[in-house]
Amino acid sequence: MLTASAILTDGLVYAAYLFIVAVGLTLIFGVMKILNVTHGSFYAFGAYGAATAVGIYTNGDWPAALGFLFMLGFAMAIGLVMGIILERGLLRLVYGKDEVVIVLVTYATFLILEDVIGLVWGTASYAAYQPMIAAGNIEIGDLVLSNYDIVLVVLAAVVAALAYWSLKFTRYGRLLTTVIYDRETAAAFGINVTLVYTVTFLIGAALGALGGAVMAPKISVTLGIGVEVIVLAFAVVAIGGMGSIEGALVGALIVGICRAAAVHLVPQIELFVIYGVMALVLVARPYGLFVRAQPRKI
């Protein structure tokens, strides 16, 4: 019973982290058909930004809740600035090019931004643990849960609900769905596809940075953190289906629960299980759980 509840809670926490990171990636792919490797940089910049923000608010002796909100806002602002620079300054130049070329451009940008982090923040690692320690913990039987992890799960649920509501019930969401369904037809009907692209990329960048921000208090913010996360995010998005937000949510839950179960029950396969699940899903559903095969346009 203890193990089962531990698997469930650990799985949910891990899924929350994966969903927050992956949702921006899948949104950008769904709308723009760009496999955005730079998403790892958004995560890393978000984490470094959060570490900087934590330094500011702890020195300023702010209340913990205000400091936490400042941390999230600061990191997302960095994501927005990066997003506008990259989308307007670089990606718009390659729209319409072969997808492989675009992946290469985002990959090259990702590598450059890794060095930019070194130039801005140096090679030393940063600690931003204060929000997590301040949140405290709660004991449920033998299990001790971090309150910060509970906040993380709630935040992921809020992001998922907001994404669903925005897509289904707002004007912009309906425009976005039209562009996802068929870009050319959407343009023919007078939708400003360029603006939709820009806004989508900014939202994706901000969500990537948010992922880094919420993880910053749990990790040592150091060079290379974006590399690790982008691989995991790709696995989640591949399971759920490229471009599907529901898919990202279900993919994150599957990966989170399976990994937690592996760590508790068969730790030897912890590394294998994420990619094993991904391979199994792709064998049965090559386009992921929530995406159907598309007829190719000629």
Partner 1 sequence: MAHRRTATLWSLAGLAAVAAMVPAQFEVFAQTPAPAAAPIKLGIVSFLSGPAASPFGIPGRNGAEIVLEALNAGTAPAPYNKVGFGGTKVEAKYVDEAGSAANVVTDFRNLVQRDQVDAVVGYISSGNCLAVAPVAEELKALTVFYDCGTPRIFEEKARAYVFRASPHATMDSVGAARYLVAKKKNITSYSGINQNYAWGQDSWRDFIGAMKVLAPKAEADKILFPKLFAGEFGAEVSTLLTSKSQALHTSFWDGDLEGFIYQEQARGLDKRMTIIATTGESSIWRLRDKMPDGTIIGGRGPHGPLAPDNAFNKWFSKIYTDRYNVPPTYPSYQMAQSLLGLKLAYEKAAAGGAKPNADQIAAAFKGLTFTGPSGETKMVLGDGHQGIQETAYGTYRFNKAKKEPEIVDVMRFPAECVNPPPGIDADKWIADGMKGAKC
| Among the listed residues 47, 45, 55, the one whose alpha carbon sits nearest the alpha carbon of residue 86 | 45
The minimum distance between CB 173 and partner 1, in angstroms, equals 31
Q: Which is nearer to partner 1, 69 or 111 (CB)?
A: 111
| Among the listed residues 231, 228, 215, the one whose alpha carbon sits nearest the alpha carbon of residue 278 | 231
The minimum distance between CB 171 and partner 1, in angstroms, equals 34
Residue 265 corresponds to which tokens in the numbers above?
């029950």
The minimum distance between CB 109 and partner 1, in angstroms, equals 6
Report the first-to-last Cα separation within the chain, whole angstroms.
56
Residue 147 corresponds to which tokens in the numbers above?
């309150």
Cβ-based neighbours of 291, under 8 Å, separated by 6 or more: 241, 242, 243, 244, 247
Exposed (0-12), middle (13-18) or buried (19+): which is 34, by Cβ within 10 Å?
A: buried
Q: Which is nearer to partner 1, 87 or 149 (CB)?
A: 149
The minimum distance between CB 43 and partner 1, in angstroms, equals 10
Q: Which is nearer to partner 1, 77 or 269 (CB)?
A: 269
Separation between Cα atoms, residue 246 and residue 253, nearest integer Å = 11
Q: Which is nearer to partner 1, 218 or 285 (CB)?
A: 218
Separation between Cα atoms, residue 108 and residue 97, nearest integer Å = 16
The minimum distance between CB 164 and partner 1, in angstroms, equals 25
Q: Name the site residues for partner 1 (rule: CB under 8 A).
A: 2-3, 6-7, 9-11, 13-14, 17, 93-94, 97, 101, 104-105, 107-109, 111-112, 114-115, 118, 123-125, 127, 129, 132-133, 135-137, 142-146, 148-149, 215, 217-220, 222-225, 227-229, 259-260, 263-264, 267-268, 270-271
Q: Which is nearer to partner 1, 85 or 162 (CB)?
A: 85
Q: Which is nearer to partner 1, 128 or 159 (CB)?
A: 128
The minimum distance between CB 106 and partner 1, in angstroms, equals 10
CB-based contact 257:274 (threshold 8 Å): no
